[in-house]
Amino acid sequence: MFEITWMEIAGETIKIDAVVYLLWCIWVGWIFSTVGAFGGIMAGVGHISILGIGAWGKKLKGTPVKIGMYNDAGKYITDHIRFSNTLLTWLNSLSSTINWYTQKRLVWPAAIAMGLGMVIGAQGAVWGTGGKLGVALYKGLFGLCTWAVSFYMFYQVTPRAKASKSKGREAAKRFQERVEELKKEGKLKELEGITNVKYSAAQVEFDFFGEHFVAKNYLPFFYGLVIGFITVLIGVGGGFLIVPFFTAIGWPMYITPAVSALTVFLNQCSALAGWFARGLIFPIAIVIGWVGILIGSYIGPRTQKYLPMDTLFVLFGILAFYVGLRYILAGFLGIKLPP
């Protein structure tokens, strides 16, 4: 509808539809700020398939170029997709963090602990895998990680998962009840959030709607080292690995997206520093995506409180399963399913 240049490389001009990109990024911003995950995955779907940049990586595979540390146009485009995902997720996580903070649902000490580990892991992925992935392999890995998101989402609605997180679910239930109460009174701005936050080098603790939560800092840090590497490997934010950690220790879904947002922001800052150092060129068109991200991430925290937790898990689990299947088949077997 409205084509603009994404990049010029090896004598070719890659164009995208600006309107489609804007609308897609509104969706990306909303989904990440709503559940604290899946934004990077959806950013990747947009760049690889919706905009068609992945096809250019396959077309130009082996074509010589000289851009920064790159001499293969196909591998440059693959890393550029990862880089572009990171640019979107960076702003998404920053905007979401600010919005969650104003909603009084951000446990920032826990996010800092995990974020420090992810910063280190991110650098390992940038310098260990940069320039080494072709588009097909990247699509396959991307699909496998998307499936991990799907299985996590479905697990959360099982009786076993619910039983292991009774405190979080009790707090979430009281939170929903309070939302309905204040909504009827026209006083939703008075909604309470996290209280009595206490932190030290060893742990963080806080209260949320009648329940007390505690988390040790060393566990998020070491977990962050691993997921920092994984997320930069596939060019996503990592919310699909961060949110499961905090829900697994019993935190309610109404606060885990906030922790995820700040953690992802720290990780993406580290990843961007590495990609720029390798010579990746900033795509001016990303600004259009940023506008969409800001719109979506503003809406997310303000609509999430009206949505049942199980509905969110099932909806995004189904979506993640199909998206993952498409990329696994396309990347590893060369089979294309309809969009």
Q: What is the pLDDT of residues 211-264, one digit of tens each?
A: 888 888 888 899 999 989 988 888 887 877 887 788 778 888 788 888 888 998
Higher pLDDT, 245 or 73: 73
Q: How far is CA 220 from CA 116, 151, 203, 249, in A?
A: 9, 21, 10, 11
DSSP 202: S
Q: How far apart are CA 34 and CA 171, in angstroms?
A: 18
Q: Residue 172 has what pLDDT?
A: 76
Q: How far apart are CA 52 and CA 265, in angstroms?
A: 26
14, pLDDT greater than 80 = yes
Q: What is the pLDDT of residues 48-66, one digit of tens each?
A: 999 999 999 999 999 999 9
Claim: this prediction has a pTM higher than 0.95: no
Portion of the chain with pLDDT greater than 70, in percent: 97
273, pLDDT greater than 90 = yes
* Structure token digits, residue 33: 């700020």
Q: How far apart are CA 37 and CA 236, in angstroms?
A: 10
Q: What is the pLDDT of residues 138-170, one digit of tens each?
A: 888 888 888 887 887 788 788 877 766 666 777
286, pLDDT greater than 70 = yes
C-alpha closest to that of 292 among 76, 81, 17: 17
Average of pLDDT values for 115-141? 90
Average of pLDDT values for 191-209? 85
